[in-house]
Structure 1
Amino acid sequence: MTRRQRLTLIAAILGSAVVSIDGSIISVALPAIQRDLGGGLSGQQWVSNAYLLALGSLILIGGSLGDIYGERRVFAAGVAAFGVLSLGCALSPTIGALIVARALQGAAGALVMPSSLAIIVAAFSPKERGAAIGSWTAWGAIAVIVGPLAGGWIVDQVSWRWIFALNVPLVVATLALILVAVPRSAGARGRRVDFLGAGLCALGLGGFVFALIEQPHYSWTSPVILVPLIGGAVSFVSFLAYERRTAEPMLKLELFARRNFAVGNAETLSMYAGLSVLFFFLVIFLQQVAGYSALRSGLTTLPVTIVMFTLSRRFGALADRHGARLFMGAGPLIAAAGILLLLRTGMDTSYLRDLLPALLVFSLGLTLTVAPLTATVLADADEHDAGIASAVNNAVARVAGLVGVSVVGVVVASTLVGDTFAANSESVRAFHQVVVICAVLVAAGGVAGALGIINPRRAVEAQRCPGGQLVGTPQPAVSQSNGGVTVSKEPMPQEV
């Protein structure tokens, strides 16, 4: 690896890590944000979901922009915008201003994530690329371990605002590395950007999510709920119809005609709805009901990330040899069993007695699943579709979390007293409802994998996939898949 390649890799790691961390670190700050700015449970949901909504709905078009205008240019623009908007989050005077800044921050992240992996693909030869992407995913996992832990300490000792402000020096360092090391890319200006598809997708998701989050404050028949709900449904159906007939779609629907690709994404949808809901509400429960500090609640999930970082590549290699079906079936069922152990939690929750056993069982099941699942999804796509297949899987995982938190929030709000978690029996009962729902969702993903997956004839090594691990975990979301490595780029080498 040359010095310039090393610096390019560091730039890609730093840029993607900042975006990934801001998707997960926010959970430890939500109770403090509520105390400072108000907003109740719906405000907490919007602070998290506004970011995920923009990132999930725009990440495919972010990859297209990189292809057309050059990954280096789009990566730099996204990183710079992310830094400015991080300052906007830090300085937000109201909950509404913070939500708007978070949405814009997510849009900037949608430019960064696809381009970060694309510049690695451009900078390294096929023989070097696997190791470079392995480093990208490994350091991304480490960053996400450190992020929430540091965030918890910052929230406890200083202020939640500093978790956003501290992005700025990382952004400046990334921009400096881009300037001196990342090679220029010409792009492909003959291609058209699917702005209409992106707009319809964002309106569809946004209307649906808005209706679900705000429903506890209105009746289902209120125009405030009905208009965005119906408008969102119409927009999303229009998005699918438009993508089917347009010459250069943002989403290639024909990929879903392939069995393993469709089943793998169905498993992703179910699992990541469950995972995102679990970790969103777990951190809130631990702080507002069980009395944990922000730092202590951040430390709670550390075993999950350590187990995943340690064992994901090993289980991916085993799935390469023995087929992914067993791993994709058994893994989610084991993870669901671990989730159900969280029913032991209450207002006097003990980490060693109630949390650690559940999280260890859960993390083992999750680790059995993530790399084989991603590899199977990519192996079922043609080589020239590897990038867009990876981007679709990324988007599915993010949308699953977005919709899952919104839907379960409606269920939880009906049980809570005063639209917020507090140290009372109603909050414990609400969290136990969350636990059961999450276990069912994760287990359903395992059933889909066990019944639907056919072990492919050709395998993709998990550590050499674009993204390496499935996105959105607590987190190796971490291994963000890339919408920027599309048909104009040389595909990742695959084993036949």
Structure 2
Amino acid sequence: MVAVTSELEMRRDPRRWWALGALVACLLVLGFDLTILNVALPTIAGELGATTGEQQWTADAYVVVLAALMLPAGLLGDRFGRRRALIAGLVLFLLGSVAGALADDVATVVAARAAMGVGAALVMPLSLSVLPSLFAPDERTKAIAAVSAASALGLPLGPIVGGWLLDHFWWGSVFLINIPMALIGIVACLLLLPETRDPHAPRVDPVSAALTVTGLGTLVYAVIEAPHRGWADPSTLGSLLGGTALITALVLRERKAARPMLDLTLLARRDFLLNTLTATLVMFVLSGLMFVLPPYLQTVLGNDALGTGVRMLPLMGGLLVAAKASAPVVARYGPRAAIGGGLVVLSFAALLGSRTEAGSAYGFVALWLSLAGLGFGFAVVPAMDTALGTLPPERAGSGSGLLMTVRQMGSALGIALLGSLLAGRYADRLATGALAAGDADTARESVVAAHLVAERLGEPGLASAADTAYVQGMGVILVVCAVAALLTALAALALLPARPEPGGSLPGGPADPPDGRQ
């Protein structure tokens, strides 16, 4: 094993900034992959014949696996070597990207995205864990800010990069962008990162990890397949009951564990619980919108892939503006006011967006997207900061892990639930009585499929009807988002304290080791 220099020498090693740059590049590409594929979904639907459900799986496979494996993957790195785990994660991410670029069917794309999720689950939490070994406390804040900014910046850049690639290359190129980034990260880890571990970290419980993966995956499967099979279908009901039972078994097992992977005792602090739920809801809505918007912008409005990515910028622009402006608002009025106000703005933006029609000008869409981004930023940033700020320092590691895991679960369920509701509404509202049975079934699969059928049959009226049906379904989604955001705003204003107490002792449960791992 590579010899480890003294802690002080590691933290003052001039190569530490190069190592940080490599970590930033890795996290930037992980952020890309949360959104970059969204603009490619209409293209995949057209070239591979992916139904709406298969598009949901293509987007969700990465997020579900990432959410389910983040905690156990982080603990593996803590116990057996963080640099070693980072390299393994980047290798898996690279191999999954190669498989995705070469795929010629939807099943292979979904499998490749799942493999990338396994790699990302190793990289994302451990990229923060290695910072204390590289930087002294006076530099660590800047390093953490750079890593956090890279993760956030990947979200708005994903659709832009994906759109440019799709305009110049084939759809598989959205996977190829990951390969040079992953290679840079692997070389940087080998040459620049010291090996660190935490022998006091909780052991990885294979049973709990298996319950997390199968429970969440079964629930997402039920939600995605329900519009096609029906909610009363035995397989749907069985999957819902099975997934619920598996998650319940996970909770019961973790509550009895001496040092659990998922430290549920953290939820005993009301401030942490409420702010975590708020951040999760915001990610639920954001992920759902990022799924339903590209087909509207690309297929209904007729933009190319790059134009679709550019037209999603108002949402991310509002989010980034609010993320920066939220700090002075919180300092003056408190996090409760910022979170509640952000959710109210989000609710209004979603309600305004529900008035969008197939013939609406893009200026109207850009308006409500900008407002939605502002609402997102003012709600999620103070909620996350407050959630972690209410914890004692020795619980910051397990608290951040729990928060990240629950947020990713919210993203996965947002794509599944809102995407399934959209698929059901679209299929119900698309009139296909004049079509042959096979063509009618194909048109009901997605708005992209309907346009392909209309072009093949020379039926422009079918394309117009599909656009109207899709926009009506999107309007229902936005109304659901508006109601959910408003109810959450009322709960936050009624239940959150104006000024949360700083972190203190928590009832029971294990404490994090004092090495500052994140």
Tell me how far apart the structure 2 counterparts of residues 62 and 289 of structure 1 sit (CA, whole Å): 41
Look up the equivalent residue of 1:487 and give its one-letter code: P
Residue in 2 that maps onto 1:168: 179
Look up the equivalent residue of 1:457 and give its one-letter code: E
Residue in 1 that maps onto 2:382: 372
Q: Does 1:420 align with 2:446?
A: yes
Unaligned runs of 5+ in 1: 461-484
Residue in 1 that maps onto 2:404: 394
Tell me how far apart the structure 2 counterparts of residues 33 and 157 of structure 1 sit (CA, whole Å): 15
Tell me how far apart the structure 2 counterparts of residues 329 and 399 of structure 1 sit (CA, whole Å): 22
* Secondary structure in 2 matching 1:248: coil
Tell me how far apart the structure 2 counterparts of residues 255 and 37 of structure 1 sit (CA, whole Å): 45
Tell me how far apart the structure 1 counterparts of residues 424 and 173 of structure 2 sit (CA, whole Å): 33
Look up the equivalent residue of 1:156 and give its one-letter code: D
Residue in 1 that maps onto 2:93: 82
How far the C-alpha of 1:177 sits from its partner, in A, is 1.2
CA contact (8 A) 1:272 1:442 kept: no
Bigger mean CA offset, 236-245 vs 405-414: 405-414
* Secondary structure in 1 matching 2:352: helix
Unaligned runs of 5+ in 2: 1-11, 428-443, 451-463, 505-510
Q: Deviations over 1:192-249 (max 9, x none)?
A: 2122111101111111111111122223343432332222111111000001001221
Tell me how far apart the structure 2 counterparts of residues 486 and 293 of structure 1 sit (CA, whole Å): 49
* Secondary structure in 1 matching 2:426: coil
* Secondary structure in 2 matching 1:416: helix
* Secondary structure in 1 matching 2:188: helix
CA contact (8 A) 1:331 1:368 kept: yes
How far the C-alpha of 1:320 sits from its partner, in A, is 4.0
* Secondary structure in 1 matching 2:425: coil
Residue in 2 that maps onto 1:441: 484
Tell me how far apart the structure 1 counterparts of residues 386 and 64 of structure 2 sit (CA, whole Å): 26
Q: Deviations over 1:331-389 (max 9, x none)?
A: 1111221222223422233222x122112222222222222111110022221111221
Tell me how far apart the structure 2 counterparts of residues 83 and 52 of structure 1 sit (CA, whole Å): 17
Q: TM-score, normalised by structure 2?
A: 0.85
CA contact (8 A) 1:12 1:117 kept: no
Q: Does 1:489 align with 2:515?
A: yes
Residue in 2 that maps onto 1:478: none
Tell me how far apart the structure 2 counterparts of residues 408 and 143 of structure 1 sit (CA, whole Å): 23
Pick from 240, 248, 261: which aligns with 1:229? 240
Residue in 2 that maps onto 1:458: 502
How far the C-alpha of 1:127 sits from its partner, in A, is 1.7
Q: Residue 331 and residue 223 in structure 1: after superposition, are their counterparts in 2 closer, same or farther (change >3 A)?
A: same
Counterparts of 1:464-479 in structure 2, within 5 Å, are: none
Q: TM-score, normalised by structure 1?
A: 0.89
Pick from 376, 393, 396: which aligns with 1:383? 393
Tell me how far apart the structure 1 counterparts of residues 32 and 267 of structure 2 sit (CA, whole Å): 30
Residue in 2 that maps onto 1:404: 414
* Secondary structure in 2 matching 1:388: helix
Residue in 2 that maps onto 1:350: 361
Q: Does 1:330 align with 2:374?
A: no
Pick from 467, 472, 475: which aligns with 1:432? 475
Tell me how far apart the structure 1 counterparts of residues 81 and 211 of structure 2 sit (CA, whole Å): 25
Residue in 2 that maps onto 1:360: 370
Give the CA RMSD over aligned residues.
Answer: 2.1
Look up the equivalent residue of 1:361 and give its one-letter code: L
| Structure having greater relative contact order (Cα 8 Å, sep ≥ 6) | 1
* Secondary structure in 2 matching 1:3: coil
Q: Residue 282 and residue 486 in structure 1: after superposition, are their counterparts in 2 closer, same or farther (change >3 A)?
A: farther
How far the C-alpha of 1:289 sits from its partner, in A, is 1.9
Counterparts of 1:5-404 in structure 2, within 5 Å, are: 5-188=16-199, 191-320=202-331, 322-352=333-363, 354-404=364-414
Tell me how far apart the structure 2 counterparts of residues 190 and 214 of structure 1 sit (CA, whole Å): 38
CA contact (8 A) 1:283 1:297 kept: yes
Tell me how far apart the structure 2 counterparts of residues 416 and 314 of structure 1 sit (CA, whole Å): 38
Tell me how far apart the structure 2 counterparts of residues 420 and 46 of structure 1 sit (CA, whole Å): 14
Tell me how far apart the structure 1 counterparts of residues 421 and 30 of structure 2 sit (CA, whole Å): 30
Percent sequence identity over matched residues? 31
How far the C-alpha of 1:486 sits from its partner, in A, is 5.2
Look up the equivalent residue of 1:389 and give its one-letter code: G
Look up the equivalent residue of 2:500 and give its one-letter code: P
Tell me how far apart the structure 2 counterparts of residues 440 and 487 of structure 1 sit (CA, whole Å): 41
Bigger mean CA offset, 99-108 vs 305-314: 305-314
Tell me how far apart the structure 2 counterparts of residues 254 and 266 of structure 1 sit (CA, whole Å): 15
CA contact (8 A) 1:152 1:295 kept: yes
How far the C-alpha of 1:40 sits from its partner, in A, is 0.9
CA contact (8 A) 1:274 1:439 kept: no
CA contact (8 A) 2:25 2:150 kept: no
How far the C-alpha of 1:191 sits from its partner, in A, is 4.2
